[in-house]
Amino acid sequence: MSDINNIVPSYLSNASSEEKEIFFKVLIHLSASDGHTDESEIGFIKEAAITHGIKKIDDLFAVSNEDDILKEVKIIKNRHLALELIKEMCMLSHVDNLLSDEETLFIGKVGIALGIEMEKIEQISNWVIDRIIWMEQAKYIFEEK
């Protein structure tokens, strides 16, 4: 993807290396939470991690259990970064056009671990869905295939 910074933009530029690593670990865990890891999801995550200076990308793909990830994610103290993580999780969960119960549950658990209110998570999720709808409408309006 040539415009990877538009998908996972500069808010990660100010994050610590530990925050970046857990950010991507969360996305990796989410991508596998429905029992099916899509290659396009993995490709996106790897490219975004490289773009944001993650050195040991393959280490991030080592199997981590959910409890460990939920403990680690608490190192993210910046509320804006936490909200952006929830947004990226919502966007990633819709890549395969199927939002599973497992993905929804994990997003909620991460949000709670980050101290984000359920109402805010719902707002972010609805915004992501609205964005997807608008992008699909744009394809129709502008006669894109």
What CATH number corresponds to the domain at position 75?
1.10.3680.10
The pLDDT tens digits for 12-22 are 888 999 999 99
> How large is the average pLDDT for residues 2-30?
79
Lowest mean pLDDT among 3-7, 35-39, 40-44, 103-107: 3-7
Q: What is residue 63's predicted lDDT score, i.e. its pLDDT?
A: 75
Please report which confidence band the pLDDT of residue 43 belongs to, taking 50, 70 and 90 as the band edges: confident
Q: What is residue 7's predicted lDDT score, i.e. its pLDDT?
A: 53
Beta-carbon-side half-sphere exposure of residue 68 (alpha carbons within 13 Å): 8
The pLDDT tens digits for 62-105 are 878 999 999 999 999 999 999 999 999 998 888 777 788 999 99
> How large is the average pLDDT for residues 109-126?
97
Average pLDDT across the chain, whole number: 88
Handedness of CA 109, 115, 121, 122 (dihedral sign): positive
Q: What is residue 48's predicted lDDT score, i.e. its pLDDT?
A: 83
Q: What is residue 4's predicted lDDT score, i.e. its pLDDT?
A: 43
Domain membership of residue 31 as a residue range: 4-141
Number of domains forming the structure of the chain: 1
Q: Kindly give the interhelix angle for 79-93 and 17-32, rounded to the nearest 10 degrees.
A: 30
